[in-house]
Amino acid sequence: MYKYDGLVIYQNHDDEGVLEVIESKGVRSLHFGSTAKQSSIDLDDPETLQLPYARAMVSWLLFKDKVDKALVVGLGGGSLTRYMLHHFPDCRIRAVEYRDSVVKIARSHFGLPLDARLKIIVGDGGEYIRQQAQTAGEEYDVIYLDAFDVDGLAQSIASVAFFDACKTLLTPDGIMLVNLWGTETSVYRTCLDWLQDIFADKVLILPVRNRGNIILLAFNQKAGRHDLKELQYKAKLLEEHYRIEFPVFLKDLNKHNPYSIHTVVTK
CA of residue 205 relative to chain centroid, distance: 13
pTM: 0.94
Q: Give the per-residue pLDDT at 113.
A: 95
- How far apart CA 176 and CA 189 sit, in angstroms, is 17
Q: What is the pLDDT of residue 154?
A: 65
CA distances from 76 to 39, 132, 146, 193, 201 (A): 6, 22, 8, 26, 30
Q: Report residue 86: phi and psi, to 5°.
A: -75, -45
**pLDDT for the residue 75:** 95
Q: Which fold has domain 49-266?
A: Rossmann fold (3.40.50)
CB neighbour class for 190 (10 Å; exposed up to 12, middle 13-18, buried from 19): middle
Q: What is the pLDDT of residue 258?
A: 95
* Helix spans in the chain (H): 52-56, 79-87, 100-110, 125-134, 160-169, 185-198, 228-242, 246-256
State the Cα–Cα distance between residues 218 and 199, nearest whole angstrom: 7
Q: Are the beta carbons of 75 and 154 closer than 8 angstroms?
A: no
Asked about 151 being catalytic, the answer comes back as: no
Which of 183, 214, 164, 177 is CA-nearest to residue 73?
177
Among 124, 141, 146, 252, the active-site one is 146
pLDDT for the residue numbered 153: 62
Positions of the chain with pLDDT lower than 70, given as ranges: 148-154, 183-184
Closest C-alpha to 180, from 219, 215, 142: 215
